[in-house]
Amino acid sequence: MIDSRAMSRPLRFLVGVDFSPPSRRALAAARSLAERSGALLTIAHVRPFSDIRAAVALERGDLLKIGGRTMTSRIREIYEQRLAALAHEGETTLLLTGAPDVALGRQAKRGFDLLVLGRRGGGLRSVLPGSNALRTMAGSRVPVLIVPSGG
């Protein structure tokens, strides 16, 4: 039976990005699907919980010297700017914290209809999703679309 409440609202897609080429391809695929289905698109990035790890991931050793709340604030600002640069008009962004599979799975069950992720790797890895994608799929309560890396 089709839930009539779901039919009265537009579909909502959540796209997990890590700013890599595979996640950008996933975003492009999600946009294409959203355009055809009239879905709303939200772009999410999961940053490390630790500010130190986040600064290292951003390759911003200068932030480590700042420390404290200023470092936390600056890291958030950098990630939010990177997300905003990816977003098109009408798309929303989310900055999440923690383990990607847990954070994306938790967010996806908050009213999203589809979670879209990119897949990295070649060889056997081109057939199977990576460990983050597998863990996210295993824990997701919504359908997950894995977009191939393209090479």
Are 16 and 100 in contact, with CB atoms under 8 Å apart?
yes
Query: Tens digits of per-residue pLDDT, 4-55?
Result: 455 678 999 999 999 999 999 999 999 999 999 999 999 999 999 999 999 9
Q: Give which of 62, 135, 147, 68 is closest to 105, Cα–Cα.
A: 135
**Which pair of structure tokens corresponds to residue 29?**
């695929």
Model confidence pLDDT, tens digit, residues 75-117: 999 999 999 999 999 999 999 999 988 999 999 999 999 999 9
Continuous H helices in 38-130? 51-57, 61-66, 68-86, 100-108
Distance CA 37, CA 89 (A): 17
Count of beta carbons in the 10 Å neighbourhood of residue 22:
22
Question: In angstroms, rounded to a whole number, what is the distance separating the alpha carbons of residues 144 and 96?
Answer: 18
Q: Which CATH class is domain 4-47+93-147?
A: alpha beta
Looking at residue 123, the DSSP 8-state letter turns out to be G
pLDDT digits (tens, 9 = 90+) for 114-147: 999 988 654 444 444 456 776 776 777 889 998 9
Can you give the residue ranges of every domain in the chain?
A: 4-47+93-147
